[in-house]
Chains A and B, each alone.
Chain A
Amino acid sequence: MSPKKSENPDFLRSAVADRANRLSPSGIRKFFDLLASMEDVISLGVGEPDYATPWHISEAAVRSLEKGYTMYTSNSGTPELREETARYLHDRHAVDYDPYGELLITVGVSEAMDLVMRAVINPGDEVIMPEPYYVAYPSCVLLAGGKPVLVPTRQEDGFEIAAADIEKRITPRTKAIFIGYPSNPTGAVMPKDKLAAVAAVAEKHNLLVISDEIYERLVYGGAVHTCFSSLPGMKERTVLLGGFSKAYAMTGWRVGYAAGPREIIAAMTKIHQYTIMSAPTMAQVAAVEALRNGEDDVAEMVADYNRRRLFIVEGLCEIGFPCHDPKGAFYAFPNITAAGLDSETFSEMLLREEKVAVVPGSAFGKTGEGYVRCCYATSLAEIEEALNRMKRFFQRHRRK
């Protein structure tokens, strides 16, 4: 189906606001279009669990629909879910949030991220964040009128952000540090001491910290995730973003939360109230069930992801795509420079020639160039076949 030509293109082009025009269109649109047109592709390009939501969680939502729980909830989210979330954060991270004032239930972390930026950013405020970044981070800052300031992170440092690199970029306009560990796309997990160093910088320069911890449960090989707001003195300057999508395989439910200082949560709630009203009611019911009875599911899925993680990382390294040990999320981030192709060309040719989809690292910022993101939340058989094909591809194209 060819797109219909507009009758008044100039008018409609000018109808789009500068704010939307300023957002960089995804640089890899061409690659996505190609992918959509192909059959029988093995995709390592997804960013979500390959499990369906555990049935007891879905069933809780089904039951709630049967009972007629189909109305709006409180703007802040149901009291049950706020209380369970507060209990969870206390039990798991020993950090205490008041479910009445310091917690807001959102439409996934995506909404929470947008809200926090709009709640704290004044035009021209700078937000420092690591690169490679999750694609939405800089855009959220831009939409709020702020300026993303990127801190390159490197493979040799395990893609962990260094406090000194943050400090170098602080200006009088710096408002916040925005981190997201475990990281999409690199799989990096920040060790506690390095986080503490970031905390010290935040304190010294009186900055807010926004910490996206959506992947907190997916850590492996003895790595430990430290909740940023659990660090001494950090709760008062941190907005913690979390959710249910990754740990409980609930991406399509669209439910997450923000936890933070009362003043900021109140500001976020105001925006949320005018733009969203409340997160989906049935999804909130499901999230309560996940928090109450989902621990065994998480443990089982994490054990299974870890097996596949070890398998893909070894496979990629053996082919000749060196890979740092990704201790979290479900991504491997191999270095593909030995193939002599930039990441977008690499991904496009791999797709055309071997029907394997990976995401070019350049999608995640300039420092992502030379890498591709491979998601291992897919069956072992598919990972194995994808690795075979990547090996064949590499042997054909490697730099002589």
Chain B
Amino acid sequence: MRIRLAPALLILALPHVAEAQTRVSRSLPLNPDGGVRIHALVGTVTVRGWDRDSVTIRGSLGAGNRLHAGGGRAGVKMFVESENDLSPAASTLEIMVPARAKLWIKTATADVRVAGVTGSIDVYVISGAIDITGRAADINAEAIDGTILIRGTPGWLRAKSASGAVSFWGTSRDVTLSTVSGRIVVDGDANPRGVFERGRFESVTGDISFRGGIERGADLRFDTHAGAVDVTLPQRGADLEVTTISGTIQNGASPARPLAGRYGRGAELKTTVGDGGAGVSIRTFRGAINIRRAK
């Protein structure tokens, strides 16, 4: 009986759900490099950069939610207030901002997408996916158990998750990616002309995979406790310093063979691949290390 009633109850409830959604549309003036702060608890936040000096907010608010927005030409702030903070309804916001805006977004359980913003971007998500595309000057993206995907060529990039994966398709002069158990994937070939100059890639058990161009004089470090590390060096090579306490090293980038670890376990490898000139350090406790060289 309960099973038969359920679809009927759902059908009866649908109009109320539809009614409960409130459409929102608002515009605010903002300087081209003004600040935008967005605070939304649950749902989806999509931000796009455009070449106008204004901000527009469109979308639908969940039942009992209210949008507050205000500010001046130097900065605008908006937040979604929920009737019930313990169980907030999901809202969907689509926000257009000046491309050079300084963007700051904080959510609880919400997916955040940003595209076409060339200013600075800060995104904090507890649980949800972060997806940022473009040539932002700098990006700081943090999640607790959400995934992070960055596509583009930010000048400076910091991305951290705990259990979520962190992926970067592009290059940056200065990048730090960190997870606990999430996988780290860096595909610099997405931007064939770009190079990495300073890179830190760290996890506890998450696997780390890297391929991309490396600037002469660069300093790249890979550090994990138990994750596997797979690094594809560029054709021009690098100066390698590889250590694993109890893992293994597979070197397919040069004829050099790893030596047994100084402490009787694990392995070490110190060698110059190709022309060298760029420092690449890889360290694991027990994660397997695989080094390749691009063809």
The answer to whether A and B belong to the same complex is: no
Q: Which A positions have Cβ atoms within 8 angstroms of B? A: none
Q: Which residues does B use to contact A, with CB under 8 Å? A: none
